[in-house]
Chain A
Amino acid sequence: MKLEEYKKIVDKNSSKEDKFKNVFISFIIGGIMGVLCQAFCTFLNKEIGIKLEDASMYTTIMLIVVSSIFTGLGFFDKVVSFAKCGLIVPTTGFAHAMTSAAMDHKSEGIIKGIGSNMFKLAGSIIIYGIIIAFFLALIKGVI
């Protein structure tokens, strides 16, 4: 049997993902995250008197710390599988990916386990983030 023909049998018998529902959940949760972070940033800026630039950096750090701790406590994976890209796309997803990979390899030691495996999911984000940042900076410099 040809692959195309077989794929028809597979498609007929496999369940479809509810894409609309997934996108909707991600949109709402991602949106709530954005609102909360903006509130926190404004709070730091207006009430505590931190400069706006610094306040947004602290907000990002807060997200990373909180999601890493939640991952470590062992319940964040369930939250992420419900919230989907609503939590994966923001910095929370990045921190979560690093912490979970580190936890996985903890038993293999600090150097060969945690150290070399921590970036196995998040490494791509860092390396391509730096490359894109370089080109954007180049474009900005030229213009």
Chain B
Amino acid sequence: MTLEFKNAYIKNSHTLIGRNEHKTQIKADTNLTDYYDNEKSVEQAEASFQRKTIENLIKKENLKYEDIDILMGGDLQSQIFASSFASRKFNIPFLGIYSACATFVQGLIQSANLLDNNVKNVILTTSAHNLASEKQFRFPIEYGALRKKVNTFTATGSVSAFITKTPSNVKIEYGTIGSVVDLGYNDANNFGACMAPSAAKVISEHLNDTKRKIDYYDIVLTGDLGIYGLNILKDYLKKEYKIEANNLVDAGSILFDKNELEKIAGGSGPICLPLILFGHILKENYKRILLVGTGSLHSKTSCNLGESIPSVSHVISLEVIK
């Protein structure tokens, strides 16, 4: 399912990163050192991250709160705690969304779609907190559970983007909504392998619908497959869909430096993709960008029930006009 958007532009963004991400190549607007951000718990800290990026973005744009039509947000916590609690301070109509690590791309599709109707602008927010995710999906924070090399590391931070009808440098062209894919793979340590099939499927659907070749894009940026997941995706694309992709880059695997990548497979979480997009890719000379948000739709209960891990991926194509 591919939608074409006529009036959607990403005008501005505000990025915030935690202390583990300081050494990365991302140039963020806010660098935090405190994992708790003066809050009582890591969950509340994540909500505070989002609140800060939204406030700062509105300040940057010289707008008032009542100028914002819709606030859209999603995160990894149960009942999207961070987004809901961050937005309670603002008197802005709120839409909460969830598709795990593909949340940001889902948000872009929904925002762009709203802009084709009577909505003037949308603020799209997402966040992730390493400690909150560890606590919710894996083991207690201080437990120091054994990590496998294929494990990814949830990046900490938050990103808010201002999406508007007024033309600006980054145009949202097409959005392709992916379906939930489950080949029966069930290793909850290897998320790259869980998510690669859905990413491959939605990429091929997007290319079919838009009648484009993959080389049309300067860069195809996947969300958080990690270094191993990216190679799996390349192989799978070739075997299953006969697509040879040389412009694939994974946001998770370029988030951390090489020393870190000896221990982990890369960064993960819904903010990997927007952080790399706003903090790195849009500052380089890429013209045609394909974003592939990849989300693994498991929960702790589903894993305990012995279920395999379904995944969903969505695609957005951006055009940078200079």
Within 8 A of B (CB), among A87-121: 88, 96-97, 99-101, 103-104, 107-108, 121
**Chain B residues with CB below 8 A from A17, complex form:** 148-149
Total count of chain B residues near the partner, CB < 8 A: 29
Q: Per DSSP, are chain A's interface residues mostly helix, strand or loop, or mixed?
A: helix
Verify B148–A1 contact, CB threshold 8 A.
Answer: no
Say if the beta carbon of B139 comes within 8 Å of chain A. yes
CB-nearest residue of chain B relative to A96?
B143
Say if the beta carbon of B125 comes within 8 Å of chain A. no
Say if the beta carbon of B268 comes within 8 Å of chain A. no
Say if the beta carbon of B235 comes within 8 Å of chain A. yes
- The contact of A9 among B141, B146, B239, B265, by CB within 8 Å, is B239
Q: Taking each of B140, B141, B228, B235, which has the highest tally of chain A beta carbons within 10 Å of its own beta carbon?
A: B140
**Chain A residues with CB below 8 A from B141, complex form:** 77, 100, 103-104
Verify B142–A3 contact, CB threshold 8 A.
Answer: no
Residues of B within 8 A of A (CB): 40-41, 135, 139-150, 183-185, 190, 193, 197, 228, 231-232, 235-236, 239-240, 265
Verify B147–A6 contact, CB threshold 8 A.
Answer: no
Say if the beta carbon of A13 comes within 8 Å of chain B. yes
Verify A13–B239 contact, CB threshold 8 A.
Answer: no
CB distance from A23 to the nearest CB of B (A): 13
CB-nearest residue of chain A relative to B190?
A14
- Top 8 nearest A-B pairs (CB, nearest first) are A77-B144, A107-B41, A100-B142, A100-B140, A13-B231, A100-B143, A104-B140, A3-B184
- The contact of A80 among B143, B183, B185, B240, by CB within 8 Å, is B143
Verify A6–B144 contact, CB threshold 8 A.
Answer: no
Verify B143–A77 contact, CB threshold 8 A.
Answer: yes
CB-nearest residue of chain A relative to B134?
A104
Chain A 49-85 interface 0/1 with B at a Cβ cutoff of 8 Å (1 = within): 0000000000000000000000110101111110010
Verify B142–A71 contact, CB threshold 8 A.
Answer: yes
**With A3-B185, A7-B185 known to touch, is A81 a contact of B144 (CB < 8 Å)?**
yes
Verify B184–A104 contact, CB threshold 8 A.
Answer: no
CB-nearest residue of chain A relative to B43?
A107
CA A125 – CA B193 in complex, angstroms? 32
**Chain B residues with CB below 8 A from A12, complex form:** 235
